[in-house]
């Protein structure tokens, strides 16, 4: 699901550049490969087509946290959290707009997408 060798800070800077060019916000999903809820979220998002919606409305980025690679440089940019999966919505200038664990209803998830799909 996640490549623990990826450097999240590099992906983030690339996402910022793309987001600025495309006038979109960044949708980050932070997950861990050993997390059962992360797998369920990934499967659920795909089944309902949310993955496609997210990729069309946002610049999409995955950030891995694992023992092999905690991606501290990226995660230290934002408020600490320890619940996975976790979503972050970041504006194209790099301001954190939303940060919350994935423990909400389908209706709330759609509302989050709609609220932040337009870059401000």
pLDDT at 94: 95
pLDDT of residue 95: 95
pTM: 0.90
Sequential pLDDT tens for the chain (120 residues): 667 788 999 999 999 999 999 999 999 998 877 777 777 888 888 887 888 889 999 999 999 888 888 899 999 999 888 888 899 999 999 999 999 988 878 888 888 888 998 775
The conformational region for residue 74 under phi > 0 = left, psi -120 to 50 = alpha, else beta, is alpha
The 3 state secondary structure assigned to the chain is CCCCCCCHHHHHHHHHHHHHHHCCCEEEEEECCCCHHHHHHHHHHHHCCHHHHHHHHCEEEEEECCCCCCCHHHHCCCCCCCCCCEEEEECCCCCEEEEEECCCCHHHHHHHHHHHCCCC
* Beta-strand pair 96-101/86-90: antiparallel
Q: Distance between CA atoms of 5 and 88, rounded to whole angstroms?
A: 21
Q: Which domains does the chain have, with CATH numbers?
A: 8-116 (3.40.30.10)
pLDDT value for 2: 67
What would the pLDDT profile of 62-82 be if each residue is shown by its tens digit? 998 888 888 999 999 998 888
Q: Which of 86, 33, 95, 34 has the alpha carbon at shortest distance from 61?
A: 86
């Amino acid at each position: 699901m996640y490549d623990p060798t990826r450097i999240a800070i590099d992906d983030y800077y690339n996402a910022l550049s793309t987001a600025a060019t495309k006038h979109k916000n960044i949708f980050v999903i932070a997950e861990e490969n050993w997390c059962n809820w992360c797998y369920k979220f990934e499967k659920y998002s795909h089944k309902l087509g949310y993955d496609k919606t997210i990729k069309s409305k946002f610049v999409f980025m995955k950030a891995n946290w694992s023992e092999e690679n905690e991606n501290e440089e990226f995660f230290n940019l934002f408020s600490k959290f320890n619940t996975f999966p976790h979503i972050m919505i970041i504006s194209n200038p790099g301001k954190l707009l939303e940060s919350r664990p994935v423990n909400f209803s389908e209706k709330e998830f759609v509302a989050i997408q709609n609220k932040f799909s337009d870059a401000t």
